[in-house]
Structures are given as C-alpha cells and as structure tokens.
Amino acid sequence: MKFFLRLLLFLIVNFGALGIGNILMNDGPTLPWYQNLQQAPWTPPGWVFGLAWTTVMICFSIYMAKLTEFRKDTQIVILFSIQFVLNVSWGYIFFNQHFIALGMLNLLLLLLLIAYITFKFKKELKIYTLFILPYLIWLIVATSLNGYILLNN
C-alpha cells in the first residue's frame, strides 16, 4: 500500500479514536464534577486540548504510515491496537466514571507504550521519529495534569 493511502487510513483511525473518546467522556470537562476539582496551575485553556490532540494525531498518523512502510508485522498492529484502546478509554475512565486513579494508571500505561514505540523503532525511522514526539510530550503533560488532580483531590 502506498504511503499516502496508509497515511489516510491512520488519519481516519486516529481521528476516529478521538471522536469515540470524546463521545465516551460525556461532556466531562464541562461538568461540575471536573470544574470543581483542584486542577494544576499549568492546566491550559480548553481550546489547547483540541489543538494539541489534532497536532498529535496528524503527526502520529505520519509516523505510523512511515513505520508500516518499514515494518509489516503483527507486533505493529498489536502495539497500535493497545495504544488505540488506552487512548479511547481514558476519557471514559476519568471524565465519565470519575476514576481519577485508574485514569492515571491508564495514562501511565499509554505514556510507557508510546515511549517504548518511540525508542524501539528509532533506528529504523531515524528523522521520522520526530513525528511521534508530540504524542510523547503531550502525554507527559496530560499525565502531570492527571497526577496533580489525583494528589490534590
């Protein structure tokens, strides 16, 4: 499959994940439960989350399209699938069910998985590794925000 077809596929799947996650979180960020939590002083305004996730998913789609150009094995499918489930489920766990600690565990697992993917395929992807870094950086920020809420509420 050509690079641009794989890119299109990953864009559809990754933005689909964002859409599913958004539905599952059930307007959580606007609900009193979340608004009344002690939040980190570095919590960005709401619009930043949309911009960040859009950037992350575009870059991650490019990364995955390139990775699947080099690697055509089930390990990639498994890692991507686990990432998908962890990404989609966090909003449901944290915002919908109000499980702050479980949300933190979910984010830590996702962060570790993306860090693993980043370093595992760094030699093969070389400069294209830069395309997964926004995901890794954003997960560090998200984990710090979730951690602050966990420790202060």
Residue 139 in tokens: 């997960």
Neighbours of 120 (CB within 10 A): 13
Considering the domain 3-152, what is its CATH architecture?
Answer: Up-down Bundle (1.20)
Tens of pLDDT, residue by residue, the chain (153 residues): 799 999 999 999 999 999 999 999 988 889 999 999 999 999 999 999 999 999 999 999 999 999 999 888 899 999 999 999 999 999 999 999 999 999 999 999 999 999 999 999 999 999 999 999 999 999 999 999 999 999 999
Q: Which long-range contacts (CB under 8 A, 24 or more apart) does 30-34 make?
A: 31/95, 33/98, 34/95
